[in-house]
Amino acid sequence: MAPLTFLPSLLLSLLLSLSHFPTPSLSDNGSIGINYGRVADNLPQPSKVVQLLKTQGMNRVKLYDTDSTVLTALSGSDIRVTVALPNEQLSSAAAAQSYTDSWVQSNIAAFYPSTQIEAIAVGNEVFADPKNTTVYLVPAMQNVYNSLVKYNLSSIKVSSPIALSALQASYPSSAGSFKSDLIEPVIKPMLSFLQKTGSPLMANVYPFFAYTGNTDVISLDYALFNANQSEAQVDSGNGLRYNSLFEAQIDAVFAAMDALQYNGVKLEVTETGWPSKGDENEAGASGANAAAYNGNLVRRVLTGGGTPLRPNEPLNVFLFALFNEDQKTGPTSERNYGLFYPDEEKVYDIPLTVEGLSNSSSESTPVNGGSKTQVPTPAAGSGGDVSAAATAGQTWCVANGKAGVEQLQKGLDYACGEGGADCRPIQKDATCYDPNTVEAHASYAFNSYYQKKSRGAGTCDFGGAAYVVTQPPSTYFLHLPRPPINMALASSPRDIETPR
């Protein structure tokens, strides 16, 4: 890439406005699609929905069935479509290819290629299905694929969305692993199928759930893509730095696949989102935070680059969801993930395309906890309207135990000596002397130095012996054991997503 001084001024200003995200590249841009769920009794007709999608510049949509009215409306629209074979059909699909032959003929071949069906999601979060349909999953996927081959439709990918609850470990990301009871019966056979057919693993990824379940150790900034470089989280297992919980969750899935030697399988995020309204116990559910999460996510995806573990693999993501769905059961958040109200008015305004990113303005748009009131839309460079709580974060500096005692001691000596940190509390018989370990003392000294330097960039490094955290050091390494972070706390926000 040419030095910045030679870039056109317009491009330079755009890059500067996106400086806290990876530098974009035309070759590695990802894609944004959207989930079109219909668990509601007040949604516009499918033909109007297609026009809405086109108006918003959306060219990928994911359905939860193969409704003929919807597929017909999408015909000739140039919108690529992912359809679904619902969980309740898995046992029949697994039992006989004659069933999937008929299903493919009626639901795929009858509409393709006028309707650009690009993938079939066989089931949805099957491992979390209370009806225990796991045993049918891979045979059903294989039969669907065989039927596609039979009717010369093998270009259509076959996969199945998993919830992060399929992971046994998800923190740190490098420790990602699948639940042991799923590995032999279904994970390995599924990944082998995906590898052979060139299909991606589909995953539903929700930082919102991880945040609401771990507000004591996960900052809102980190969950909303608002953490700056000095607040990046360092994976203690591989040293990679994470600027967002979303990327950390994805890399936990990649690590789980790598552990089983399936590192060639790609990943597509088939659901992710943030609710604009929630119950009192649903921390972070608000219109402002939903706009921040989804807006920053879109910017992150469309400006290119992969995750720290897979930097060269573009992120392909489906937002959840197009509409608020009034017939969904459960907490208030379940009915408030939509970008639009059923009357097609925006719940909040975020750019959804590359062009939209460059044209973001300060016009007023409806967003305030999901109610129709007016607030300013953020300028380009932020994802959406951001709550005050998301911008008031504090950070601390702690020791990286993986650096080794020698490196920690070297950093400790510098901080307490030339660095001018206040190390009196960690002297013998002083208040913070115990626990008497190099790591604990180094954490205290590093943080003292970091705060003294006003938390400036580069002041929490010490040759790789330290990193920035967003919770008080006592939560991490000093006096208290750190609570484990569960990044895979819950499944996605839905009942089994089937139109009623």
**Are the C-beta atoms of 450 and 411 separated by less than 8 Å?**
no
- The one-digit pLDDT tens for each residue of the chain (500 residues) are 333 333 333 333 333 333 333 333 333 589 999 999 999 999 999 999 999 999 999 999 999 999 999 999 999 999 999 999 999 999 999 999 999 999 999 999 999 999 999 999 999 999 998 888 999 999 999 999 999 999 999 999 999 999 999 999 999 999 999 999 999 999 999 999 999 999 999 999 999 999 998 888 888 999 999 987 667 889 999 999 999 999 999 999 999 999 999 999 999 999 999 999 999 889 999 999 999 999 999 999 999 789 999 999 999 999 999 999 999 999 999 999 999 999 999 999 999 999 998 886 433 333 333 443 333 333 333 344 333 322 234 577 888 888 889 999 999 999 999 889 888 888 887 767 778 889 989 988 998 888 888 778 788 889 889 888 765 554 343 333 334 566 665 456 654 444 33
Report domain extents, the chain. 31-62+160-356, 396-469
199: three-class secondary structure by DSSP: coil
Contacts of 329 (CB under 8 A, 6+ apart): 495
Non-local (6+) Cβ contacts of 40 within 8 A are 323, 324, 325, 326, 327, 328, 342
Catalytic residue selected from 125, 231, 334, 497? 125
The backbone region for 433, taken as left when phi is positive above 0, alpha when psi lies in -120 to 50, beta otherwise, is alpha
Cβ partners under 8 Å of residue 74, min gap 6: 46, 50, 61, 81, 115, 116
- How confident is the model at residue 298, as a pLDDT? 97
* pLDDT for the residue 394: 58
DSSP 8-state secondary structure symbol assigned to residue 70: H
**pLDDT given for residue 108 in this prediction:** 98
Q: Which among 231, 247, 268, 271 is annotated as catalytic?
A: 271
**What pLDDT does 480 receive?**
30
To the query of whether residue 125 is one of the catalytic residues in this protein, the response is yes
**Domain 31-62+160-356: what homologous superfamily?**
Glycosidases (3.20.20.80)
Question: Smallest Cα–Cα separation from 321: which of 335, 334, 337?
Answer: 337
Residues 37, 325: contact at Cβ < 8 Å? Answer: yes
What confidence score (pLDDT) does residue 456 get?
A: 80
Nearest to 315 by CA among 372, 253, 247: 247
Radius of gyration of the CA atoms of the chain, in A: 24
Please name the amino acid found at residue 9.
Answer: S
**Backbone phi and psi for residue 272, each to the nearest 5 degrees, phi listed first:** -160, 145
In the annotation, is 231 catalytic?
no
Contact 336, 327 (CB under 8 A): no
- What is 11-29 written as a DSSP string? HHHHHHHTTTSPPP-GGG-
